[in-house]
Chain A
Amino acid sequence: MKLIVRVWRQQNAQEKGRFETYEAQDISSDMSFLEMLDVLNEQLIAQGHEPIAFDHDCREGICGMCSLVINGRPHGPDKGVTACQLHMRRFKDGDTITIEPWRARAFPVVKDLVVDRSAFDRIIEAGGYVSVKTGSAPEANTVPVPKPAAEDAMDAAACIGCGACVAACPNASAMLFVAAKVAHLSDLPQGQVEHKARVQDMVQAMDHEGFGNCTNHYECMAACPKQIHVKFIARLNRDYLRATTHP
């Protein structure tokens, strides 16, 4: 098929940026969205243009690197998939596709569709860890974990840190990310020691990075490729209230 691709081009963080429109030729419906961009880039190079910069790594929906707002939705129109797992059969010949980067003050554009998500790393540094004795692996059943807690922790730990929650939020809030990163530790016995400090430190780090505030639109959950539930946000709010009122 042939597609019209409207894509955000921006040389660097300082430049203002603009939309450019290209025609992508010979796109097969079996291609993934990123393969379509690869083909388009080949065509751009052949025409003497600079290829479009975009983030990607695993291309199998597990690393969280791909970060495209496709036709107004982070990761595109499908529920529960990353952009790299979106396929071109979702589009029709002649369609116009608009591609923008994540837009948030805390995620400045590096180039074209690539944004700097190191704000997330700094939030994790603030408390997204547990202190354990390193050395040989302990016997698996030394610390018993109830089945429901283990399941819940796994649900939260499905977060791949892509930032679609921030991209989708009308306020560019990072609450779902922080909530998931707090919950997957606080669900487990190993996460209890630093729990109160973690909740406060990670929330403080989030505010410090310039993300917006959650006003409960739940766009984050709708956009999340791992469908992390907003119940974790309610729990973060509860834990935060408790940690600040009973230190």
Chain B
Amino acid sequence: MAGSGLMLLGFVVLHLLGNLTIFLGPETLNAYAEKLRHFGLLLWVARVILLAAVAVHIWAAVVLTIENRRARPQPYQQYVPAATNPAALTMGLTGILLLSYLVYHLLHFTWGVAHPQFFGAQDALGRRDVYAMVVRSFEIPWVALLYVVGMAVLCFHLSHGMASTCQTLGLSTERTRPLFERIGGMIAGLIFLGYSAIPVAVLFRMVRP
């Protein structure tokens, strides 16, 4: 859970940095996308590792959930939590929502199934016009909103996930655990703001076609 989660977090951060090049204009983003494509075999290796991390993460989550349900066959009639938080209690739910987001997102930008009208355009240099695809998509308010909601779910999932990872890997101590929780929350917030900035900026015409 912790190991695969960390790999996915690494991807989320790198992907965010890549995506933010949209604010540098079409030339930078399209050149960046083109460069990624030219990694060829390496890109596929990265994709396979990423897919494996997703699979391991889901498999571990399913096993954990089954075992933990089984560990308390008779639930309490009255149960008053005193320490946990909503994010920790809904990791399964936010995980499923993230997976649905991911499927939609891949159908959208990678496979061109969800919004085919924006897919496959080329820029003046004959490269895939990723910039136009993203901007045209987010000009539709509900698409932009869906992405912001997806990022909120991601933020919620990560806000528990990161500090939890530090505890599971045995990194936290009495002093550092509250610190990890605060830093984890801050990183989750930054990731939310960074990603959401893109659809919001397009929606408010701060990034134009």
Name the residue in B76, B89, B166 with the highest tally of chain A Cβ atoms < 10 Å from its Cβ.
Answer: B76
Give 1 or 0 for each of A102-116: 1 = CB within 8 Å of chain B CB. 011110000000000
Q: Are B170 and A238 in contact (CB under 8 A)?
A: yes
Q: Are A172 and B68 in contact (CB under 8 A)?
A: yes
Q: Are B164 and A237 in contact (CB under 8 A)?
A: no
Q: Are B88 and A216 in contact (CB under 8 A)?
A: yes
Report if A24 contacts B (CB, 8 A): no
A131 CB to closest chain B CB (Å) equals 26
Which label, helix, strand, loop or mixed, suits the secondary structure of the B interface? loop
Report if B122 contacts A (CB, 8 A): no
Cβ 8 A contact of B84, one of A104, A170, A213, A240: A170
Whole-angstrom distance between the alpha carbons of A221 and B99 in the complex?
32
Whole-angstrom distance between the alpha carbons of A18 and B82 in the complex?
26
Report if A9 contacts B (CB, 8 A): no
User: For residues 61 through 100 of chain B, which have their beta carbon under 8 Å from a beta carbon of chain A?
Assistant: 64, 67-68, 70-84, 88-89, 91
Report if A190 contacts B (CB, 8 A): no
Whole-angstrom distance between the alpha carbons of A37 and B71 in the complex?
29
Q: Are A71 and B71 in contact (CB under 8 A)?
A: no
A-B contact count (CB 8 A): 107
Q: Are A215 and B172 in contact (CB under 8 A)?
A: no
Cβ 8 A contact of A73, one of B75, B80, B166: B80
| Chain A interface (Cβ < 8 Å from any Cβ of B) | 17, 19, 69, 71-73, 98, 100, 103-106, 168, 170-173, 210-219, 221-223, 229-231, 233-241
Report if B117 contacts A (CB, 8 A): no
B110 — which chain A residues lie within 8 A by C-beta? none
Q: Are B88 and A100 in contact (CB under 8 A)?
A: no
Q: A72-B79, A105-B71 are in contact. Are A237 and B84 (CB under 8 A)?
A: no
14 contacts between A and B (CB under 8 A): A72-B80, A100-B78, A105-B72, A170-B89, A215-B91, A216-B163, A217-B81, A223-B82, A230-B177, A234-B170, A236-B170, A237-B167, A238-B171, A239-B170
Q: Are A221 and B83 in contact (CB under 8 A)?
A: yes
Q: A215-B164, A234-B170 are in contact. Are A71 and B75 (CB under 8 A)?
A: no
A73 — which chain B residues lie within 8 A by C-beta? 80, 82
Q: A19-B77, A172-B72 are in contact. Are A234 and B64 (CB under 8 A)?
A: no
| Chain B interface (Cβ < 8 Å from any Cβ of A) | 64, 67-68, 70-84, 88-89, 91, 160, 163-164, 166-174, 177
Q: A73-B80, A222-B82 are in contact. Are A104 and B177 (CB under 8 A)?
A: no
B168 — which chain A residues lie within 8 A by C-beta? 214, 216, 237
Whole-angstrom distance between the alpha carbons of A19 and B72 in the complex?
18
A236 — which chain B residues lie within 8 A by C-beta? 170
Whole-angstrom distance between the alpha carbons of A17 and B174 in the complex?
41
Name the residue in A216, A218, A231 with the highest tally of chain B Cβ atoms < 10 Å from its Cβ.
Answer: A216
B80 CB to closest chain A CB (Å) equals 4
B79 — which chain A residues lie within 8 A by C-beta? 72
Q: A19-B77, A98-B78, A217-B89 are in contact. Are A211 and B71 (CB under 8 A)?
A: yes
A216 — which chain B residues lie within 8 A by C-beta? 88, 160, 163-164, 167-168
Whole-angstrom distance between the alpha carbons of A241 and B165 in the complex?
13
B82 — which chain A residues lie within 8 A by C-beta? 73, 168, 219, 222-223
Whole-angstrom distance between the alpha carbons of A222 and B83 in the complex?
6
